[in-house]
Amino acid sequence: MKTTVLTYGTFDLFHHGHLKLLTRLKALGDRLIVGVSTDEFNAGKGKKTIIPFADRIEIVQSIKFVDLAIPETDWGQKARDIVAYDVAILGMGHDWEGKFDHLGSLCKVVYLPRTEGISSTQIKQSLGYFDKSHLSDLKASLDTISSIIERLR
């Protein structure tokens, strides 16, 4: 029987911390499913993304050890997905410690440390406010990252 691991995140401004977290999660099982928060869900949480949902889910799905990327649309989805995908392990970053323990009756819940010194929030703060030229530069960077990922497939 294969062990399915499930995680969720926004994955805005995808960076090596995201990659390390997903790598560690994949090592916990045979199949990794990643829920990527939609722009609408993030807006409901008061969170604004730089990279649009369609691009973020494409980046995540392009990672060779991610078996499936799915949209995350609401808080209650985690329980539904655990059942629907026969999930053995729900893994989240340690900043969510304790927030999903209630799902422990459905699967094992683990909280992994995040990579020190990097986060999308830190990147956004260091860039300050965004004007159209910033967004254009970020889009160019995303295109570069996408082409690198494509070559690694």
Q: Is 124 a catalytic residue?
A: no
From the candidates 2, 20, 26, 45, give the one annotated as an active-site residue.
Answer: 45
| Phi, psi (degrees; rounded to nearest 5) at 31 | -135, 130
Query: Are 59 and 69 within 8 A, CB to CB?
Result: no
Strand blocks (E) in the chain = 4-9, 31-37, 68-72, 89-93, 108-112
Cα–Cα distance measured from residue 82 to residue 68, given in angstroms and rounded to the nearest whole number: 14
Q: Is 45 a catalytic residue?
A: yes
From the candidates 20, 47, 124, 139, give the one annotated as an active-site residue.
Answer: 47
Residues marked as catalytic? 45, 47
